[in-house]
Structure 1
C-alpha cells in the first residue's frame, strides 16, 4: 500500500481539481475516504486471510465500496451539490486501490469484488509498498517509501496544484 500521506495528497489534489472552491469539510472527507480502505488490515487480527474478499486490499478497495461509501457520504454531507461531492469522494476512495495497484508489494487489489474476487496490479509498479505498522514505518524501509511517494505522488500532485493555482490566478487578472 502507499502510505496515508500519499493517499491523502491524491485525495486533496482530486478535490481541488474537481472543485477548486470545495469546502474544508469535503476535503477532509475526501482525505479520510482515501485512507479508509486500509481499515481492512484489521482483518488480519480476526484471522481473515489476505486473499479473502474481506481481506487486505479486498472489498474496501473495490469500485463497489467506493460507490456505496461516496453515495452514503454525499447524501449526508452533499447538501445542494450531491453529485459534485459524490464525484470527489468516489474518486478519492477509488484512488486508494489505484495507488495500491502500482506498489511493489502485496497480492493485488480486488477492484471488482463482490462480482469477481481476482486481484490486480498495474504493469507499472513503482511505489514502494508501505509497511504495516508505525514502528516499521520509521525505518530505512519507511524512508524508501517516502522517497518513492515524493517522486511518483507528491511531485505530480504538486505540479497539478501549481497549474490550478496559476490558472485560477490568470482568470482573476
Structure 2
C-alpha cells in the first residue's frame, strides 16, 4: 500500500485542479478521509482476521461496493459538506476508489478485492511501479524512505503536474481573457 499521506494526494490534486469554490473545505476534508478510510481494515489484524480473508487487509473496504457505500453516506451528509447530494456522492466515490487503485499499483501484497462481494479475487494493476509501504513499526528506515521517494515519483509529481497543467489549460492564453484592454477595443 502507499503511505497514508499519499492516499490524500488524489483529493488534494483534484481540489487544486477544480474551480475556486467548487469543492467546499468540508467536502475536501471528507474526500481526504474517504481516500484514507479503506485502510481502517488494518484493525482486522487486532481481531485475528487473516490478510487474505474478505474482511482482511485490502479486502471488502477496497472494493467498488465500499466506495459506493461511502458515496451514499456522503449524499446523505451533503448539507453538512456544503454540497449537493450528487456532488458529494461523486466526489467521495472517486476519492474512496482512488485508494484501492493506488494499492493495486504497488509492488507487494495480495492485490485488492475490487469486485467484493461478488468475488473475493484480489486484483493488481498490470503496471506496478509504486513500492509497497512497510507497516508502521518498520517504516522509519531506508525502505520507508525509498517508499516515500517512489510515491513522490509515481503519485505526487504526476498528479500535481496534471493539476497544474489543467489549471493552465482552463485559464487559457492571457490575450484571450477579458480584461481592461480587451474591452477598450
TM (norm. structure 1) is 0.91
The total of aligned residue pairs comes to: 172
CA RMSD of aligned residues (A): 1.8
**Structure-2 residue corresponding to 1:9:** 9
Q: Per residue, is there more helix in 1 or in 2?
A: 1
What are the ranges of 5 or more consecutive residues in structure 2 without an aligned counterpart? 178-185
1:67-106 matches, within 5 Å, as: 67-78=68-79, 81-106=84-109
Would you say the 8 A contact 2:27–2:88 is kept in 1?
yes
Would you say the 8 A contact 2:78–2:84 is kept in 1?
no
- Decide which structure has the larger Cα Rg and report it: 2
Q: Aligned partners of 2:160, 2:42: CA distance in 1, in Å? A: 29
**Structure-2 residue corresponding to 1:46:** 47
**Structure-1 residue corresponding to 2:181:** none
Q: Aligned partners of 1:103, 1:5: CA distance in 2, in Å? A: 15
Stretches of 4+ moved more than 3 A in 1? 14-20, 167-173
Tell me the SS of whatever aligns to 1:77: coil
**Structure-2 residue corresponding to 1:152:** 154
The alpha-carbon deviation at position 171 of structure 1 amounts to: 8.0
**Structure-1 residue corresponding to 2:66:** 65
Q: Aligned partners of 1:23, 1:85: CA distance in 2, in Å? A: 10
Would you say the 8 A contact 2:11–2:32 is kept in 1?
yes
Q: Aligned partners of 1:18, 1:109: CA distance in 2, in Å? A: 29
Relative to structure 1, is the Cα distance of residues 47 and 29 closer, same or farther in structure 2, using a 3 angstrom cutoff?
same
Tell me the SS of whatever aligns to 2:8: helix
TM (norm. structure 2) is 0.86
